[in-house]
Amino acid sequence: MSQDPVFVRQAFSSIAKRYVLTNHVLSMGVDILWRRKVANIVRDFGAQHILDLACGSGDLAAEIIKKMPHAEVVAADFCAPMLQQARNRGLPMLLVADGMKLPFAERAFDALTVGYGLRNMETWHGALSEMSRVLTDQGHLVILDFSIPEGWMKAPYRFYLHRILPTVGGWLTGNKQAYDYLSESIERFPSGEMMCDLMKENGFVEARCYPLWGGISSIYVGKKG
């Protein structure tokens, strides 16, 4: 399964200015709590050199910096207009970089976070092995992304995903196509044990899944061997 990087970059460029507002509206603010959870996990690992990849407007990197003011937090994204939003909020270390080919030496970071970003990368296995390359041995990867819940929530969630989300996202940003893509990409993206297996196939010895809110999002924590 592969994503088209030209389409992805263009889609995020076109919604960059309304991205944060639209996120908070569509999730009713819950996305803030989920990013905070990721920041708490990274803080508990005691990491000092952290890469927030696919940082977009910098929401997750800002949360990590708040929790760990003495850590070095580099935030990178391949879409300059999204990165500009992060610059506007005063994030210190920002870089235009492609997750498929990171401009960092091997073992440069002891933790790497990626919030709602891996799903959009050209190939998931290529991106995961690149993440593993730049992590120290025993370094941690923390992924936050959407997933499809099981059980009774599945049908109403899919209704929301395919009917409500693209319509409201389209109204707020003027680009419904970007939100149609979002729904489709969530359907395609592996979740639960499938994602843990993918992590283990690409450089991580341990991988665990922590479903959030019945599984509408999930946090995956991996440790490099």
Give me the residues that bind ligand SAM (CB under 6 A), please.
5, 8, 12, 54-56, 59-60, 77-79, 82, 98-100, 115-117, 120-121
C-beta separation of 95 from 122 below 8 A? no
Shortest reach from residue 138's CB to ligand SAM, in Å? 24
Nearest CB to ligand SAM, comparing residues 19 and 157: 19
Tokens of 209: 């899944």
What is the DSSP code (8-state) at residue 106?
Answer: T
Shortest reach from residue 64's CB to ligand SAM, in Å? 11
Shortest reach from residue 211's CB to ligand SAM, in Å? 18
Nearest CB to ligand SAM, comparing residues 136 and 185: 185
Nearest CB to ligand SAM, comparing residues 13 and 136: 13
Tokens of 136: 């120290």
Nearest CB to ligand SAM, comparing residues 89 and 208: 89
Shortest reach from residue 105's CB to ligand SAM, in Å? 18
Long-range Cβ contact pairs of 171-177 (< 8 A, separation 24 or more) = 172/18, 172/21, 172/22, 172/25, 173/14, 173/15, 173/18, 173/19, 173/22, 174/14, 175/11, 175/14, 175/15, 177/11
